[in-house]
Structure 1
Amino acid sequence: MTDESWTDLVDRFADGDVTPGHMFGCAGLRTGRRFFAIRWHEQLVLKLPADRLAGLVEAGDGRPFEPMEGRPMNGWVVLGGTDDRAGLVEEARAYVAGLT
């Protein structure tokens, strides 16, 4: 993910309850106080429900997020070559907004 594509994503989603911030020292987007997207080492990482995450991994469109090798972060996926990034970001936003 390039600087330009991240900026475009932030411009598209940051309004109202969605604000930019930092998580693990990386740029991210959050709804309220919860993050749903981060830019990790030039890659887009999203928080999604377990079944959606598993489907993306199975389809080859993502892999579990491991900020430290061998320690996957529950519910987070590093996106691969999927064409529907904006749709997935919206799914992640809606999912995290619905968490209690």
Structure 2
Amino acid sequence: MNDESWADLVDRFVDGDVTPGHMFGCAGLRAGRRFFAIRWHEQLVVKLPPARLAQLVDGGDGRPFEPMEGRRMNGWIVLGGPADRADVVEEARAYVAALA
């Protein structure tokens, strides 16, 4: 994910309770106090419910997020493949907002 793609997502989602912030020293988006998307080493990482995460991984649209090798973060996926990123980010925002 390049700078322009990330900036487009930020412009699209920052509004009301969605604010930018930093997680792990990376730019991120949060709903309230909970992060739902971050830009990790030029990659888009989002938080999703387990079933949706498994669906994306099984479909080749991402892989589980391991910020340190061998240490997966539950519920987080590094997006890749053909999935529409904005749609998946919206799913992540809605999921995290519902957790509050």
The alignment's TM-score, normalised by the length of structure 2, stands at 0.98
CA distance in 1, matches of 2:9, 2:63: 21
> What amino acid sits opposite 1:94 in the alignment?
A
Q: Report the more deviating stretch, 75-84 or 35-44.
A: 75-84
Q: How does 1:70-81 map to 2 (within 5 A)?
A: 70-81=70-81
Q: 2:40 maps to what in 1?
A: 40
Instruction: Point out the more displaced range, 81-90 or 68-77.
Output: 81-90
Where does residue 31 of structure 1 map in the other structure? 31
Percent of pairs with identical residues: 82
1:81 deviation in Å? 1.6
Q: Please list every run of 5 or more consecutive structure 2 residues that lacks an aligned counterpart in the other structure.
A: none
Following superposition, the deviation at residue 22 of structure 1 comes to: 0.1
* RMSD of Structure 2 on Structure 1 (CA): 0.7
**1:69 partner letter:** E
Give the whole-Å Cα distance in 2 for the aligned partners of 1:43 and 1:20.
Answer: 16
For the residues of structure 1 that align with 2:82 and 2:49, how far apart are their CA atoms? 17
TM-score (norm 1): 0.98
Q: How does 1:61-100 map to 2 (within 5 A)?
A: 61-100=61-100
Q: Tell me the CA shift for residue 82 of structure 1.
A: 2.3
* 2:66 and 2:72 in contact (8 A); partners too: yes
Amino acid at match of 2:88: L
In structure 1, distance between residues paired with 2:83 and 2:91: 14
